[in-house]
Homo-oligomer: A and B are copies of this chain.
Amino acid sequence: MILINYPPREQWAEILRRPALDTENLFDTVRSIIDRVRAEGDKAVLDYEARFDKVELASLAVTEEEMQEAVEAVGVELKAAIYLAQKNIETFHAAQRFTGKKVETMEGVTCWQKAVGIEKVGLYIPGGTAPLFSTVLMLAVPAKLAGCKEIVLCSPPGKDGKIHPAVLFAARVAGVSKIYKAGGVQAIAAMAYGTESIPKVYKIFGPGNQYVTAAKQLVSLRDVAIDMPAGPSEVEVLADETANPVFVAADLLSQAEHGADSQALLITTSEKLQKEVMYEVERQLGYLPRRDIAAKALENSKLIVVKDTEEALQMTNEYAPEHLIIQTTDYHQLAERVTNAGSVFLGPLSPESAGDYASGTNHTLPTNGYAKAYSGVSLDSFIRKITFQEILPQGMCAIGPAIEVMAANEQLDAHKNAVTVRLNSIRKQ
C-alpha cells in the first residue's frame, strides 16, 4: 500500500490516475472472431468453444433437463439467499418504474414520454472459477421488470460442458428466457448477429475480460447497444477518525480480491486511521484464500490523508469512484454533496458487499471515472422512452408561425411547407 499525506492539489490528477485501458489493440483479433461467427453461426461458436473453453459441445442451448439438474444441485441455504436478493433487487428496481406525464406545452400542443421495454436483451455472464450468479440477478431481474420479451443469457461452460448450477438457478428465478453455453467474443458476436440457435438481441449487458469488452465495443459501433464501457472494479472509502479501521480494511480487501488490477483507495482526514487501516489490512489479508490476488492489487492501493472532509469530498468527486463508502460522523451531509460516483454506501454498516449482493441496488456500475458521465445499470437501462405528441388546430395556430420562421431561416422550406399546408387547411374551415 502507498501512503500519501496531504498531497497538493496539482498532484491529485497523477495520484488518482487509473491504469490505462487499451482494448483497441485487441480489435483485429476480436474482429476476426466476430466476423466468423457472423458468417458461420453455430458452427463457429462451437469451434471457438472447443478452442477457448476446451469443451466439445453437442449443442449450445441449455436443456430443461440440465436446468432441473441444476435446481436440484443448489443447496437450500444458497437458494434462500438468492430468493432474498432477488426480492430486494425487484423491490428497488420496481420503484424505478416510469410513468410519463402528459404536458401541454401550449394550448392544443400535448407532448409525453412512454417507457417501453427493449424487446430483446442479451446478458453475458463470465465463467471462471467462481460462478457469478449475483450478476445474473442484477441484469435479469430489471430486464424482466422492464418488460423485455426475450432475455437471452450466454455463459461459458466448464470443462464438463455445463454451466454452473447456481448461475442456472439464478437465471430461472429471475425469469431468463433462453440460456446458451457460449463464452467470450463468440458469445457477444452470437447475441449481436444471431446464429441458428442464439437469437439476435438489441442490447448486450454484462461484465467480461478485455476480449469481451473489446467485442462489446466493436459490435456497439454499428449493430447493437451495450450497457456501458467496462474497466477494473474499484472502491473508495472516505473516512474520518471515527471510522472503524476493521471495517475499512475489510472493505478495501473486498475490492482487492477481485483482481490484481482492482483499485482500492482510502481518503481520510485522520493519520491515525490511515495507520490503523494499514495494519488491519495486513492482518486480515493473512486469512484470505485469495490473498495472492489481493496482495497484488494492494501494491497500487493508496491510503491518502487530506486536511479536512471538504478536501476529501473534492478529491472524491474528482476521482469519481465506482463504489464510494462514506464512514464519517457527518455522512448524511457529505452524501448530499457527492456529484461523481456510481453507488454510495453510507455509514459504518453499509459495506460494498451489501450492494454487490442483496440490498437491492444494482452492482453493474461505471468504473474508470465513467461515473462522471454514466449511471449504473437500472430499470432505465432496459427501456426506451418514446416521445409522443398530438397537436390540435388551436395548437397548430399557436406554434405554426414560429415553425415557419425557424424552418425558413434554416433553409428547410419543405419543413416550413408541412406546417403551411396545415395552417391553410385550418384557415379554410
Binds B, one of A36-44, A176-184, A337-345: A337-345
A350, B389: Cβ atoms under 8 Å? yes
Contacts of A317-357 to chain B: CB distance below 8 A: 335, 338-357
Contacts of A246-263 to chain B: CB distance below 8 A: 246-247, 250-251, 253-254, 256-258
Count identical subunits in the complex.
2
Q: A11: CB under 8 A from chain B?
A: no
Q: Give Cα A417–Cα B374 distance, bound, in whole angstroms.
A: 30
Binds B, one of A2-10, A53-61, A127-135: A127-135
Query: Given the complex, which residues of B lie within 8 Å of A422, measured CB to CB?
Result: 247, 348-349, 351
B357, A406: Cβ atoms under 8 Å? yes
Query: Given the complex, which residues of B lie within 8 Å of A418, measured CB to CB?
Result: 247, 250-251, 253-254, 351-353
Given A88-B109, A244-B425, decide whether A349 and B118 contact each other with a Cβ distance below 8 A: no
Q: A82: CB under 8 A from chain B?
A: yes
Q: How far is the CB of A284 from chain B (nearest CB, A)?
A: 7
Contacts of A384-420 to chain B: CB distance below 8 A: 384-393, 395-396, 399, 401-403, 405-407, 409-419
Enumerate chain A interface residues (CB-CB to B < 8 A): 21-24, 77-78, 80-82, 84-85, 87-88, 91-92, 95-96, 101, 103, 105-106, 109, 111, 113, 116, 118-119, 129-134, 166, 202-203, 217, 220-222, 224-225, 229, 244, 246-247, 250-251, 253-254, 256-258, 284, 287-290, 294, 335, 338-362, 366, 370-376, 378, 380, 383-393, 395-396, 399, 401-403, 405-407, 409-419, 421-422, 425-426
Apart from A246-B425, A257-B414, A378-B385, what are 16 other A-B pairs with CB-CB below 8 Å? A82-B406, A85-B406, A109-B354, A118-B372, A119-B372, A225-B370, A257-B412, A288-B413, A290-B414, A343-B389, A345-B388, A345-B389, A350-B389, A350-B390, A353-B418, A376-B387
